[in-house]
Structure 1
């Protein structure tokens, strides 16, 4: 599929803005946002790849539980975001695929969001009981950052602070939690004496978290007018779409530089460079926003190109970390 075809298909999946009556099935598909869950599972997958590559034991049952909890917690984040944005009116006209707009029942969507939060935390509590209490504390910190981003009275995303909060939550905090959850109980520290692996989490999770932050950054481009009207001062509103588009290549470059530096320093195997498989969608994203940043109808799918970069980059890194030492041994 060519780059124009990819952009067109992503745009169609997002939601049409004009023309005949909207296809509710397509709107529900856009509302569910199933591709977005790549950002939830990536910290644990990368942590698993890192442990496998270092020859450390990795608990598959813990990984599966962590992934389930992460998906539930991101479902809470997405549903709660629809509820909170409906309260401010920012979604009234520009987002027909909001779950609140589709159901017309903010109260039920809020209840569903809270249910996903409670269930996700219960699953994560099981993970913590089988590893370290710090896992649950770190995940609660991630949820707190998510609430600061969107929830009243803070709504820091409306002040242009969503991106750094996103990086913290999906970078050091989530990665540190995953590293502890996947380790044997004795290594994770058990109930006492736990040491949170901040250094490893920062090196391992910082680059992929920049790619996740790029997804959030790109979600603002097609709704600049709506955001500005309702007081949402996103970075794209503050900078203008033209200047904001010039930052996208820097997000991509910073992601790869963060991930390639440990390879150059000899900390990671050369196969960790497999994260570069995310470059084709990144290239398409850069071109799309450079040429059409001011045309909302053309760029509503830009966040899905950013998401494709994030997913391929993270999976490539996880696979490269896991396979590097095995391939090296096979070559001798």
Structure 2
């Protein structure tokens, strides 16, 4: 019995036109698991040539089958970019900007200096969430094979945790200072609730994200709590200390929370197997990627349906509704991409054949 290897993913060397005419005998390294050359033989057992391939690793499943993985060499710069997770900081920008817009429509004020301080503080809070999440996922083993994990990259759990705590302290200080200057107790309580949601989401002993409660906590933190708090802070002035909580503000905060939760849901597609292995039962793990892609498609449709209903009933101003609908092509792109690629995995397959 000889293993016939599919050569479609090998980018170096000769690829046969008809694989049924060729047999491949791999040469393993001294460790017994890495293939560095593949010798190609014809039907008369005469070697044609050796194939040079990148590092390929095998995992045996007895005599029945085996699976082979090709380890990608990821550039350091790309790993750093992934570790920074720059797109995630949009969840700091969106609630703040939506709250500022609602405050401007209500009062005609835009407090640029306060907006800048709140933006910096929000970025520091998101940095805490990002770094502490890497630390606690490292503790549970969820990020064991995650190359872009900050802990794995810097090689120091304590240093990463210290940076996370420092970011949290500085971010909270900025939020508290702004709230005290605005003399708005409601905003302080709302922001404290949002940060508490972030803590119980990932930090021990709670780690509610492992129980599938990550998306509801995300909805509450970035939607009703953060967006409403920013609205109150950016609309407070010496003339107006207590802003009304109108239907426009509440509906806007719900849309922000819904969108942010959907982003979190989509971010788990590439790590379902790793989450399941460590007992992290997110909604996507419970549903599976096929049903998850169905949920994403209908969630996007529901989001724009809600937006249309709020616009037609004049709860949201018409210009805001029209601007939001400009993102519809992006929503369709996300839906179609998830639906098409939810099953894609980088697996280098080996099939067993009888000679």
- TM-score tier, shorter chain, comes to 0.7 to 0.9
State how far apart, in whole Å, the 1-side matches of 2:294 and 2:195 are: 31
**Who is 1:281 aligned against?**
330
Q: How many residue pairs end up in the alignment?
A: 277
Residue 267 of structure 1: how far off its partner (Å): 3.0
Deviations 1:124-156 (A, max 9, x none): 111101211332221111111011111111111
- Aligned partner of 2:153 in structure 1 is 102
Given that 1:173 and 1:201 are in contact with CA atoms closer than 8 Å, whether structure 2 keeps it comes out as no
Q: CA offset at residue 206 of structure 1?
A: 0.8
- What whole-Å deviation, never above 9, does each CA across 1:202-260 have from its counterpart, x for those lacking one? 21111122111111101111111111110000111101111111011222123223333
| Aligned counterpart in structure 1 of residue 315 of structure 2, from 254, 267, 274 | 267
2:215 to 127, 139, 163: 163
- Could you tell me which residue of structure 1 aligns to residue 303 of structure 2? 255
Aligned position for 2:168: 117
CA distance in 1, matches of 2:203, 2:249: 27
Aligned counterparts of 1:261 and 1:50: Cα–Cα separation in 2: 18
1:33 lines up with 2:33 in the alignment = no
Partners of 2:220 and 2:332 in 1: CA distance = 25
CA, structure 1 residues 25+69, in 2 after alignment: closer, same or farther (shift >3 Å)? same
C-alpha displacement at 1:285, in angstroms? 1.7
After superposition, what is the alpha-carbon deviation per residue over 1:290-312, rounded to whole angstroms, capped at 9, x for unaligned?
A: 122112459xxxxxxxxxxxxxx
- Tell me the residue number matched to 2:180: 129
Q: Whole-Å Cα distance in 2 between the matches of residues 276 and 297 of structure 1?
A: 35
Which of 223, 226, 232 aligns to 2:280? It is: 232
The question of whether the paired residues in 1 share the 8 Å contact of 2:83 and 2:150 is answered with yes
Any idea what SS the aligned residue of 2:314 has?
coil
Structure 2 contact 102–249 (Cα < 8 Å) conserved: no
8 Å contact kept, 2:235–2:243 = no
Match runs of 1:281-300 below 5 Å = 281-297=330-346
Mapped partners of 1:257, 1:284: distance in 2: 17
CA distance in 2, matches of 1:188, 1:73: 28
Deviation at 1:187, TM superposition (A): 6.3
How far 1:188 sits from its partner (Å)?
Answer: 5.9
Question: Tell me, what secondary structure is at the counterpart of 1:185?
Answer: coil
Say whether residues 1:245 and 2:289 are aligned partners.
no
Q: In 1, distance between residues paired with 2:243 and 2:256? A: 23
Richer in helix (by share): 1
For residues 83-142 of structure 1, the C-alpha deviation after alignment (integer angstroms, 9 at most, x for no partner) is 01000000101x210100101100000000000000001111111012113322211111
Q: Which runs of 5+ in 1 are unaligned?
A: 1-16, 299-332
The 5 Å alignment of 1:40-59 reads 40-54=92-106, 56-59=108-111
Larger RCO (CA within 8 A; separation ≥ 6): 1
Q: Tell me which protein shows more strand as a share of its residues.
A: 2
Greater Rg over alpha carbons, structure: 2
Instruction: Identify the residue that residue 231 of structure 2 maps to in structure 1.
Output: 179
Distance 1:82 1:116 in 2: 14
> 8 Å contact 2:236–2:243 — kept in the other structure?
no
